């Protein structure tokens, strides 16, 4: 039985289109968190340190963030479906290379660079195609809900699935798993239509792509350098800010001259969309920051293995699933603003539950309630934030806003791992309890900032 006004054919077409798009978001989010439970195994096999694995994880998230805006813009030139399939192919090559990596350098090439580039190409089409193929607001909101939920579930189940694979086989098979899923997505995605024709003659702003990518990379690399050299950190962060300021001046000048730009400045003229993107950034910062900090603390300080750590993180997975499954129902009863504010408030409470665990030697399952509450809060607000941003723009700007929105979210992921991870790793050998508590406090402050930001969204 189908919904009123929807024929069985339409319903089946919707499912056929949505399944590969949602699964693509799942695997990319999974890749950002599954390595958190493999830290000990990977650092031992690759003859590197915890910090080395942190750098690889952060670089993967950073490459995604830095290239997501150019990736979104390329969809107009080469077509959304073509970029989606090419991105999947590059991702698969990177996953295979990561699976056979003999050292940290090859892992960074395969996971951080190739998988990051592939993700930057395939994720913008997911959101653009969803906007174009689901034309009425109800079906579009439902589709975004499924995709956002799959992203949250992917990030939350990464530690669990990664832990199971690592304990049963080897961490290398986690990348084999990613390869198999990507091949499945490519097979399913071959029948996804592209409603708009590609425009190969459309110019591409290479200078803007270089400046935006360089600015983001310098910014995050500066944060990663914080525990080694304060002056280097200051220099890199300052350089990143200056390059990004140069980028905005550059695109403004090109717009005035009537030339093609990587990112239209009009995207930043909508206050509601700007607030929505800030909440997206802070949500993913909290999710990935918490995942890295708690997983590292459990493995390095408490000496839990990958499967134990992954099982503990199943509490966060359940929390995300419970709230995501009820997202559509909640959206019909509550304003987007209320859902986002409630999500941040609940996640901050979850962090408060985790903080006291630094004292004494509580059992492994003592971490479960806090992780469940954090997952529930984050799952409740992922979909509303996406809806707020994507629905603020017409179809002809979906390529740009999808790239910008995903870049902002992935920048939050990389900042979460970089900031919280740097605080934790810097003192994990000398004062593990204090460094864990400090990292979680920082994430909690981020959650409060998200709550305040969401309060400025419209009430309806």
Q: What is the pLDDT of residues 151-201, one digit of tens each?
A: 777 877 788 888 889 888 899 999 999 999 999 999 998 888 888 787 888
- Asked which of 209-213, 270-274, 355-359 is least confident by mean pLDDT, the reply is 355-359
pLDDT of residue 6: 42
As a whole number, the mean pLDDT across the chain is 82
For residue 324, pLDDT over 80 is answered with no
pLDDT in tens, 48-92: 887 788 788 878 877 887 888 888 888 888 888 899 999 999 999
Which parts of 136-171 fold into alpha helices (H)?
137-168
User: Which pLDDT belongs to residue 395?
Assistant: 65
Confirm if 343 and 327 have CB atoms less than 8 A apart: no
Per-residue confidence (pLDDT) for residue 3, from 0 to 100: 40
As a whole number of angstroms, the distance between CA 256 and CA 263 comes to 13
Helices (H), 34-49: 39-45
Contacts of 459 (CB under 8 A, 6+ apart): 335, 337
- The encoded tokens of residue 88 equal 């999947």
Considering only CA atoms, which of 234, 222, 205, 232 is closest in space to residue 399? 205
Q: Dig out the tokens for 373 from the structure.
A: 């509450």
CA torsion, ordered 318, 320, 324, 327, to nearest 10 deg = 120
What is the spatial distance between Cα 400 and Cα 253, in angstroms, rounded to a whole number?
18
- 2 falls in which pLDDT band (50, 70, 90)? very low
pLDDT at residue 9 in the model: 43
Selection from 260, 270, 284, 228 nearest residue 62 by Cα: 284
Is the predicted pLDDT of residue 138 greater than 90, yes or no? Answer: no
Q: For residue 455, what pLDDT is reported?
A: 92
């Amino acid at each position: 039985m189908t919904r009123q006004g929807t024929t069985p054919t339409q319903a089946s077409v919707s499912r056929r289109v949505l399944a590969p798009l949602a699964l693509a978001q799942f695997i990319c989010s999974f890749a950002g968190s599954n390595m958190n439970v493999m830290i000990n195994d990977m650092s031992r096999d690759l003859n590197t340190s915890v910090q080395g694995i942190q750098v690889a994880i952060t670089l993967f998230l950073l490459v995604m963030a830095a290239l997501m805006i150019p990736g979104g813009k390329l969809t107009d030139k080469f077509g959304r479906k073509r970029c989606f399939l090419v991105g999947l192919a590059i991702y698969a090559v990177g996953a295979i290379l990561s699976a056979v990596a003999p050292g940290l350098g090859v892992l960074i090439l395969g996971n951080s660079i190739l998988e990051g580039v592939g993700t930057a190409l395939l994720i913008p089409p997911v959101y653009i195609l969803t906007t174009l193929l689901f034309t009425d607001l109800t079906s579009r909101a439902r589709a975004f809900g499924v995709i956002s939920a799959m992203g949250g579930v992917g990030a939350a189940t990464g530690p669990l699935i990664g832990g199971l694979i690592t304990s049963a086989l080897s961490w290398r098979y986690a990348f084999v798993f990613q390869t198999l899923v990507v091949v499945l997505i490519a097979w399913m995605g071959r029948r996804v239509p592209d409603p708009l024709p590609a425009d190969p003659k459309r110019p591409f702003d290479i200078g803007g792509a270089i400046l935006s990518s360089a600015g983001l990379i310098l910014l995050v690399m500066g944060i990663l350098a914080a525990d080694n050299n304060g002056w280097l950190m200051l220099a890199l962060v300052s350089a990143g800010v200056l390059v990004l300021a140069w980028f905005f001046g550059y695109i403004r000048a090109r717009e005035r001259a009537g030339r093609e730009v990587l990112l239209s400045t009009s995207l930043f003229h909508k206050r509601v969309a700007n607030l929505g993107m800030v909440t997206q950034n802070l949500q993913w910062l909290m999710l990935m920051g918490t995942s890295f900090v708690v997983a590292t603390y459990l493995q390095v300080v408490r000496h839990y293995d990958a499967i134990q750590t992954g099982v503990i993180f199943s509490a966060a997975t359940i929390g995300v699933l419970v709230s995501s499954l009820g997202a559509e129902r909640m959206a019909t009863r509550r304003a987007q603003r209320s859902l986002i504010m409630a999500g941040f408030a609940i996640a901050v409470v979850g962090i408060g539950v985790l903080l006291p665990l630094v004292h004494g030697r509580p059992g492994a399952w003592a971490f479960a309630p806090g992780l469940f509450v954090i997952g529930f809060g984050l799952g409740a607000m992922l979909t509303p934030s996406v809806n707020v941003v994507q629905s603020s723009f017409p179809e002809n700007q979906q390529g740009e806003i999808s790239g910008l929105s995903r870049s902002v979210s992935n920048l939050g992921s990389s900042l979460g791992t970089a900031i919280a991870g740097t605080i934790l790793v810097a003192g994990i050998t000398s004062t593990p309890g204090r460094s864990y508590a400090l990292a979680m406090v920082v994430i909690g402050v981020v959650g409060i900032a998200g709550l305040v930001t969401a309060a400025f969204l419209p009430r309806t």
